[in-house]
Every structure is written in C-alpha cells, then in structure tokens.
Amino acid sequence: MENTLPNEVLAGIVRANLQAEGIGFEDGVFLPGSTDFGNVSQRVPSFWFMLQTHRAGINWHSRAVTDEAASDGAHAAMMQGAKVLAMSCIDLFLNREFAQLARDEFRRRQAST
C-alpha cells in the first residue's frame, strides 16, 4: 500500500461544497500513511474527507462505532457526504479549468516524490 498524495485543488472544491451544506471543514488535517486510498491517490488526483458518524470520544474499530453507524445521524452524514461528492464532481465537470489544475498539481506532486 502507498502513502496518500494530497491535492489542494480538490480540497478547495470539496471544502466549498461542505461549507455550502453547512458542514465544517478542518484545514490542515492530513493523515499520512499507506492505505488503499493511498494507492488510488498515487494514480489519479484524489481527495478524502471525513464526516462525523458517531459521538466524539468513541474509539474507532469498536462495537460502539459499529452500533452508531446504523443510527439516523450516521445515515444523514452519509447522505450529506454523497451530496458533497456529487456537487464536487459537477464542479469539475462544468469547470474544466478546475480539473486541469487538479491534474497539474497531481503531476507536480508525483514528480517530487
């Protein structure tokens, strides 16, 4: 598995759509490491974000997180996330300059690794 390659152009698009939905975006959070998503991000411009699907203070990979994943709040967060993803795709489709800028940044970052 490969490390995640960030893309600030895509981050800006997603940030704007999160804000349009009234969802906060925490700048500067980057979780480096080797993941399946890292593999994808090494091959195409990519960006990830997280939405709150459970109460704060619950440990990941626990039964409590599993239980809360089936809650109405988690479902609402996933629906918001799907809308943000769809809106971000539409932005890239309608504004080819965004897509080109994301590709250019991707190529620059690839070349520097």
Locate all alpha helices (DSSP H) within the chain, ordered by sequence.
Answer: 8-20, 36-41, 63-68, 72-94, 96-112
Q: What is the predicted pLDDT for the residue at 20?
A: 95
Q: What is the predicted pLDDT for the residue at 53?
A: 86
State the total domains in the chain. Answer: 1
Gap between the Cα atoms of 96 and 53, Å rounded = 33
Kind and range of the H or E run holding 2? strand 2-3
33 CB burial (10 A radius; 0-12, 13-18, 19+): exposed
Average pLDDT per consecutive 10 residues, the chain (113 residues; last block may be shorter): 90 95 78 79 91 86 91 94 96 96 96 87
Residue whose C-alpha is closest to residue 22's, from 51, 47, 48, 46: 51
* Residue ranges making up the domain that contains 39: 2-112
Q: What is the predicted pLDDT for the residue at 30?
A: 61
pTM of the model: 0.85
Q: Please, how many CA atoms are within 13 Å of residue 43, restricted to the half-sphere of its CB?
A: 7
Q: What is the predicted pLDDT for the residue at 32?
A: 63
Kind and range of the H or E run holding 34? strand 34-35
